[in-house]
Amino acid sequence: MVRVLEKASDIVYSIGKWMTFVYISGVTVLSILGVIFRTAGNALSWNEELMRWCLISLAYIGASVGMRNRNHIGIEFFVTKMKKSYKKVAIILGYVAIIVFLVIAVVYGFQTALNARRQYGSILQIQMIYVKMNVPLGALFMLVHMMYFTVGLFREKDDFQKFLISGGGTYE
């Protein structure tokens, strides 16, 4: 089970990395174009809207990449003060809370994105479903990572450091 979830997490991570690369590249190119055209006295009207959409998408997809890399912030003060036997339980309870939140974000995010299929951007006239679909997609990617981390944490006996979503201190 852990191997299957690890493979799924790796696949989702690769997809997320490429999407993040595309969004970062898009923002970079659009901002350079915006400066060039504005300097030339012929400002583009559409690039700021597209850049905003890329940044929004980058935040949600990039959060999943950060989670897999264990770059999310963790409040470890209380957990490090616990007895070893309670640490794992406390971390699992935290993971369950995160999973519940992500399930809610996926479900309501998809509903919201689907409702936005009749909405269009103010300048580009692109359906907003494409922008809003990044919210549940990023949450779904994070959910896959959290399932891997949680199941791995359940199965690990002693060294559960590699299944922590924050790369901070040790819990041994």
Position 33 pLDDT exceeds 70: yes
Residues in contact with 82: Cβ distance below 8 Å, sequence separation at least 6, in sequence order:
90
Residue showing tokens 């690890």:
6
State pLDDT tens for residues 63-88: 999 999 888 877 777 777 888 778 88
Query: What size, in residues, is the chain?
Result: 172
User: Is 165 or 130 the better-scoring residue by pLDDT?
Assistant: 130
Q: pLDDT above 90 covers what percent of the chain?
A: 65
> If you average pLDDT over residues 98-125, what whole number do you get?
94
> 82-96: b or e for each residue (b if 16 or more CB lie within 10 Å)?
eeeeebbeebbeebe
| Domain residue ranges of the chain, discontinuous segments joined by + | 2-163
> If you average pLDDT over residues 97-120, what whole number do you get?
95
Using a cut of 0.75, tell me whether the model's pTM lies above it. Answer: yes
